[in-house]
Structure formats: structure tokens, C-alpha cells
Structure 1
Amino acid sequence: MSDNQKRLTQQELIFSYFKANPYRDIPHKEVVDWATAEWERLTGTKFRDPDRAIRKLYEEGFLIKVKKGVYRYDPDYVRQVDPEDFTQALKEKIFKRDGYRCVICGRGPAEGMELHVDHIRPRSAGGKATFENGQTLCSEHN
């Protein structure tokens, strides 16, 4: 393995797949299947949490979420900050209320899962970013 491959992060590997396929709606499973096989080929180790890497790319504004489980990379896209999203302080209150665990599967950071706050009633259906409408989900269930 070369020095460049040793320094490649899992997130960078996933992003390279999206960058090689710009403007294409890519299902989550397609990315995960490719990334896990490619990571194992390059490093000889298992890919830790591809869901986390995809979600982080989305949260950082590098990917567009087309619909649940489908993402797109558009090199011309500039993410707009949504003032209706949960504030960091509100997210922390929701995490605390939910015991820092996914409300669906019960997993959390102790099991290596990244947690997110999501709307119970979606914004598209009029849901607001409130304490009552927030829930803790792992990257797999969000």
C-alpha cells in the first residue's frame, strides 16, 4: 500500500465515488457496497461505519439528499443554511432527553454509532425544529 492510500480517510474514499459520478442520484446501498469492498481492497480492513461518512458529507454540505437513502454530488451546489433547523443547544437537550441513544434501535456512541437529531413530523409535513418534535436517531435510522 502506498503512503497516499494509508492517509486516505473513509470519508474521502466515499466522496471520491460521488465526485466520479457527479449529477447522478446514487442510492445509499450502491455507495456502501462499493466503499466497503474498495476499503477492504486498499487496506485489508473492514470499513467501520459507511453510514456515518455519507451522513457527514451531507451535513457538511458536500452532498444533496435527494430523498431518504439517495444522495447526489453537484459540484456547483452551494448549501444554504436553514434557519428552521435544530440549534446545537436544542440538539443537546434532545440527546440528553433520549439518553444519547437512537430511539429506534437503542444504539449510541458506545456502540460506535453517530447520533443525529431528526424531526418526528417532517418539515415537509409542517414539522418544526422544536424539543417536542425532535428525536435522536443513529446514522443508520436517519
Structure 2
Amino acid sequence: MFEVTYKLSSCINRKKYKTENGALRAIWRWLIKNEHESYKLALLYAPHEDVRDYQTAEELPFEKVEDKVVDFYASNDWLKLRYLAFEKFGNQCSCCGNSPVNGAVLHVDHIKPRSQFPELAFDINNLQVLCGFCNLGKSNKFDTQWR
């Protein structure tokens, strides 16, 4: 669970999010909405990580494409690489063997976490196919290669 504390000069609010990506998107929207406020701060509390603070939307880990902010996982480069990873590594979880036939939702996982190794974000040799359960269990705490 990810928690965000939103601080303006006049108030403080807290919200919880299921995913880091959801929390970061919400922070981005909030910072854009409040860009003219004199004091604003968003604090992101992630499990087993130091608190991250953001005061401007530019500080968030999103790519700029044609003057629009794009989430990494919605970028064309990632979507193409994701497709290639499924072609190369198959359509089943490299850890437990589940597949869509068993009802599994498959993810393309960064073996070495993108948060710690951003230079490997687009390296197909740093990718593996995991089901949602195995990927969420792995999180960014382990760099086990299952393939």
C-alpha cells in the first residue's frame, strides 16, 4: 500500500493507493492542479523505502513526449519492448508457470528494478514475464531472474 500526504499552505490531506504508479499519477495531477499555490508538497510513503517528496510535476519519473507528460508504462517505446518480451520469453509466468489459460494476468517485469537501475529500463535482457502475483510478490526488492 502506498500513502501520499498532500500539503498546501492551508491544509493537509492523506490518501492511500494500491500501486506506486497510481500514487505517482495522482501526485502529478494534484501538483498540476495546484501549480499556482505558493506552498505545496506531496510526500510518498512506499513500503520499505525512504519517503520521497515532490514539489513540482517535473520531479516525477515521467517522460516528456511532444510537450505532454507520459507515464513510462504507457510510452510507445515501452509498449513495443513489452510486446517483444512476450515474443522472446513466451506467454507464461517464468516463476510459477501460470498463463492466461489458467486465468493469470501476465506482466513484463524488470529483473533489476527500474527504480534502482534506470539505465536498464529498455534492455530486453533485463526483462522477464511474470504473472501478477509473482511480480507483485517480487516487487522491487529482489532481482531474481526466473527465465
Common topology (TM > 0.5)? no
More strand by share: 2
Compare CA radii of gyration and give the structure with the larger one. 2
Higher relative contact order (CA 8 A, sep 6+): 1
> What is the TM-score of this pair, normalised by structure 2?
0.43
